[in-house]
Copies of this chain bind each other. A is one copy, B any other.
Amino acid sequence: MPKMTPRTLSGFMELLPAPQQQMERIMQTLRETYALYGFTPLDTPVIESSDVLLAKGGGETEKQIYRFQKGDADLSLRFDLTVPLAKYVALHYNDLTFPFRRYQIGKVYRGERAQRGRFREFYQADIDIIGDGKLSITNEAEIPAIIYKTFSALGLKRFRICVNNRKILNGFYAILDLTGKATDIMRTVDKLDKIGAEKVAAILQNDLSVSEESALEILRFIGTGGSSQEVLAALETYKGRNERFDQGLEELSTVVRYLNAFGVPEENFAVDLAIARGLDYYTGTVYETVLLDHPEIGSVCSGGRYDNLAEYYTDKQLPGVGISIGLTRLFYVLGEQNMLNPDLPTAPADVLILPMTEDLTPAISLATRLRENGVRTQLHCENKKFKQKISYADKLGIPYVIFLGEDEISAGVVACKDMKTGEQTKLDPAATIYRIKAGLDSLSRGAVILER
């Protein structure tokens, strides 16, 4: 029979079993952490009607969307989890209780140009808090705590959560009488890291006709450094000149004030007036998160406050705040940077049982007992040489191998080899299970990400 060469589409991540186990561990950590903060899991369809999904229309993403006909229906694959959330909240408004906190970890699709480290199918891990009409600033203050807890639980220590407030930026540009140019200015300023202050100043003056004085003030302003308290103090000097600015400053002060109570250490947090997060969607606090040893990755967790989640679907005012982790890309980068902890078990089983008798009943009964005790167990009953079976455990990294021959059965013991230390014990089944479980506990200590 002629064969079709099997292949996976480029831009689609398909992991081997060991890295898949690491990915699962990350997802499980996210699920557990998000749940600690009162977020409920949600799952929405991957396919939506194109008119619903693209109600907002236009934008850079539209070209990238997977859109197609099926029968009479014009369908599209979701390109983020925010539009489906907006649809969900508008559609199920009467069945939801607000503030509505949900997390969603799901695949989204963008037909970007294939490129190393860019994915066309990728997981996003989002949380959002949606208010009905209003939403307290406390929710914005809580987000850094969730980011901190999430990345700490994954094993990271050297990261910084950077926070700014869009009202401060908009107020500041109003003070400079540059409101009409604010969007363009922010877009320019966003390139600071890439092109440097001099070029930013040149663009501001030459292309946007900002006065030299204002350009310098903008650069000085967004470059304001120091501790959170120092930045807040610097911002105080602009107070009283613009209502929006003052409101933003109060919000930012609230976020900073509660950081300690929320358990976020000083060193993992910074007020950074240079971050703006896109241009028209966000209206209050905005967030970016950088890995201190890998700034080149960019932000690994971003988001902010918005005033109108679902304005394309409903007249209801639904303000919210949310953050998103680009999980597939993060996982890829962590792998590239050699930051996935190789010591955590990725084996499909904790124990491999090698039956050494014709009648398999004793081996099977032992497997059943191990499983009843929560030990992931595989029986190896294939017709292979002993050495090949040991090599099977070795290749998969299965930490314990049990041999069960006539001698052990009649003595009521189990021969169990620790594959890492080579140590072999002959103990009764209960003691063997106890030993294995203790060993597994110590093996699975440690987090999935390892800083080097």
Which residues of A line the B interface, CB within 8 A?
Answer: 1, 3-9, 12-17, 20-21, 23-24, 35-49, 51-52, 55, 66, 68-71, 73, 75, 86-88, 90-92, 95-97, 99, 101-102, 107, 109, 111, 121, 131, 134-136, 138-139, 142, 145, 149, 258, 261-263, 310-315, 348-349, 352, 360-362, 364-365, 367-368, 371-372, 374-379, 381-383, 392, 395-396
**Chain B residues in 8 Å Cβ range of A135:** 382
| Given known A261-B360, A313-B5, contact A68–B68 (CB-CB < 8 A) | yes
25 A-B residue pairs with CB within 8 Å = A3-B312, A4-B312, A6-B88, A6-B91, A6-B310, A7-B87, A7-B91, A12-B45, A14-B45, A20-B42, A36-B374, A36-B376, A37-B371, A38-B349, A39-B348, A47-B66, A66-B68, A68-B68, A97-B392, A134-B383, A136-B381, A138-B381, A142-B379, A261-B361, A261-B365
Number of copies: 2
A69 to B66 CA separation, bound complex (whole angstroms) = 9
Tell me which residues across on chain B come within 8 A of A38, comparing CB atoms.
Answer: 348-349, 352, 376-378
* B138:A379 contact, CB within 8 angstroms: yes
B residues less than 8 Å from A7 (CB atoms): 49, 52, 87, 91
Complex contact A40–B68 (CB within 8 A): no
Q: Which of B17, B43, B371 touches A42 (beta carbons < 8 Å)?
A: B17
Q: What are the residues of chain B within 8 A of A6 when measuring CB–CB?
A: 52, 86-88, 90-91, 310, 313-314
The reply to whether A14 and B136 form a contact with Cβ atoms under 8 Å apart is: no
Kindly list chain B residues whose C-beta atoms are within 8 Å of the C-beta of A121: 45-47
Measured between alpha carbons, how far is A321 from B151 in the docked complex, in Å? 40
A20 with B40: CB separation less than 8 A:
yes
Which residues of the partner chain B approach A36 to less than 8 Å between Cβ atoms? 371, 374-377
Which residue on B lies nearest to A33, using beta carbons?
B371
Given contacts A39-B348, A40-B20, is CB(A360)–CB(B8) below 8 Å? Answer: no
By the criterion CB–CB under 8 Å, are A101 and B52 in contact?
Answer: no
Alpha-carbon distance between A3 and B46 when the two chains are bound, in angstroms: 22
Find out whether the CB atom of B364 lies under 8 angstroms from the CB atom of A262. yes
In the complex, besides A12-B45, A262-B368, 18 extra interface pairs with C-beta distance below 8 angstroms are A4-B55, A7-B49, A7-B87, A9-B75, A14-B44, A20-B40, A21-B40, A21-B41, A36-B371, A36-B375, A66-B70, A101-B348, A131-B382, A142-B379, A149-B371, A258-B364, A261-B360, A263-B368
Instruction: Tell me if A9 and B48 are in contact (CB < 8 A).
Output: yes
Q: How far is the CA of A261 from the CA of B367 in the complex (A)?
A: 9
Residues of B within 8 A of A149 (CB): 371
Contacting residue for A87 out of B8, B45, B314, CB 8 A = B8
Chain B residues with Cβ below 8 Å from A47 are 9, 12, 66, 109, 121
Task: Provide the residues of chain B in CB contact with A43, threshold 8 Å.
Answer: 14-15, 20, 23
